[in-house]
Structure 1
Amino acid sequence: MKFVWQETLRQTCAMISYWCDQSAAGIPNVQRDARTVTMNVLASTVFRETYDFVGSANLKVSNLSTAESFRDALLLVHHYIIHLMVIPYRYLLGPWVPGKLSKIGFAAFNLEQIMTKVVAEEKAAIEDGKPGSGGLITSLVRTIDHISKRGALTLKEMLGNIFLINFAGLDTTANVLAFMIIRIAGEPDIQDWLYEEITTLTEGRPVQDWEYELFPKFKRCYAVFLETLRLYAPVTGLPKMTGRGMQAIQIGEQLVTIPPGTDVFPMLLGVQTDPQHWDDPFVWKPKRWIVCAEGSAEVDSEALLVPRKGTFFPWAEGPQGCVGKKVSQVESVAVLAALLATNRMHIKNKPGETEDGIRKRVEYCCDDNNSNVLLQMNNPTQIELECVETSKD
């Protein structure tokens, strides 16, 4: 995870520089920029391919004429995933296919070729006793190779697993980052609260010098991440199935028996806003996650709230839990800490608008969302953001 930490800090510093340059006109699109950071970190972590951050004003998915790199291919496939769910990419490769659809087909084809090539290289490294690229793909291929010797996984199945990890790890984290950044922009007091923790722990050192060991100490930053996940979990329902035996659960005063093999879809947003378990359940309050030691107000004496089992599970639970949980945690905390170490996020006021009016506008923007694939804001650009250096604030 040290590599994820360092690469996220690098990408975030580049994003901050771009945002500060854009402040006069406002940040064009926070959600797209968050996706770019996540995409670049993912590419570096999985394939050890390093990319420079390109802001949303300069990076347009529709303008990508080729998809020769892993990042660009995945970005195009991800952007047009609904098209590919309806039409298999092999039908989009013919000379008669219109330009846009042909581009989508080529991206999907090239993504498969890239993953196939990397798998072949990693398998060759295994056979030669070499360490491989050292990315996440190395560990994945070696694990799958070990399993396939017993269960005979096909190449298609291996590629499917690799694609799923890449696809699932992109917008899940990016969307949460977008919600998180817009929410803190409307809460100056929360930014001050976070800044206190950041300066205390880093002692003013440059972001690029932060070691990974700081990550678990950023409890307030992590609390903001958890509270955002509580209200805006990217996956709103988790498909589960009961086991081979009958399952009995108590609902109020009634005992309900569920037959074996029954599909069950726990709805996260219902559970995570249940007033039986959460005070002010629909209010975004990151401080609810911080438990202070009795008689102490020191940052390093704070602890994180451990919610009651079954009341908060955005990564699912048990053996089928999210394999990318740690990556999302490290990445989100790194982005938030790096962002507020030397900068403040502001929302451009409308004429005569009060602080309370800004908060309501932020809440409306975040609550105006859809979950067509993952939960995301319908129009994040309705909130005009500025990123200002602390010294100029």
Structure 2
Amino acid sequence: MLFSIASPRIAIVGAGAIGTTLAARLAVAGYTVSVLARGDSLAAIKRKGVCLIDQQGQHTASVIAADNGGELGKQDIVFLCTKAHSVPSLLPQLQPLFGQHTCLVPMVNGTPWWLLMDAVEPCAANTAPIATAPIETVHIKAVDPEGELVRCLPASAIIGCVVYISAHLQAPGVAISNTPPRLIVGDIVATPDAANGRMETLVKVLENGGITTRHTERIRDAVWSKIAANLTSNPLSVMTGATLAQLYSHPSLQKVVSQLFEETHLTAQAYGGRLEMTLQELLDLGERMGAVRTSMLQDYQLGRALELAAIVEGVIELADRKRIPVPTIKSILHLTRYFEDSALRQSHAHGGKENS
């Protein structure tokens, strides 16, 4: 085992709702946690730590806060908890956090940049990748326009992660989450025997933090399932203002959800993916989530840029590569872009700006 369950060095990149929730849970469990943040979030966390308000009450813990990886040094586990559109510019700046045995756990919505990386094994930074296929065929332009991310870290350093945590920020450094947190994790490529212990350690750390965590040998199936859940809910929530329960229970919206689900299903199949749920199971699960606003709806209401590239455009790009028609997904993208543009113009007109 390359690092111990008792004392792994843990860094969380991003202090949004998910990053703050994770930081609070792991710090309350007794782990030493570092958080990379900026602006108001950095100031608040330095001043009073992180706070999570959930069904069990309020949990507050101290963490190490910094605005650059150089202050923290090499880590054992790095959780990447930023918006998908921030990753291409951010990840290359995090090299000080990574040593020979560091594992990166991206907790990012939508189509991950590493989805096709089983066909390429990048070497260290600034060196040419060893590829079984041309690099342009394994990077996804919607989420990695220049292919920088697939070159940044070797696939063996990345542990895939699918996030089922509903949370929102009450204030910088203060997260509210009223549903049980759940994660699915898995290696994106076969790893050497010497690295096998890291998965056991990661799962144990997360479980100790009160996060139900499942390890799967087919992480891409879990990813495609979450993509289907995101794509059938996030854009529609922006256009309708509906909660998850409303989105998945209203007969008219169910018809649109059904079309989005089927187009995503066909695209997943073309890449060897198997959805872990049927349409009816998705509808039932979404309705049970209750009055939860999607993260995209929250961003829209705050006048922020939306994660459409990762959640919608990535699927369209992959479908187009395989010549799979996805007319409903494409229409939803154009409509949601209109809503996003209107919200951003209004936010800028009132002097608003995005928060990290």
Could you say which TM-score interval applies, normalised by the shorter chain? under 0.3
Bigger RCO of structures 1 and 2 (CA < 8 A, at least 6 apart): 1
State the TM-score, normalized to the length of structure 1. Answer: 0.24
Structure with bigger strand share is 2
- Greater Cα radius of gyration, structure 1 or 2: 1
With normalisation by structure 2, the TM-score equals 0.26
* Higher percent of residues as helix: 1
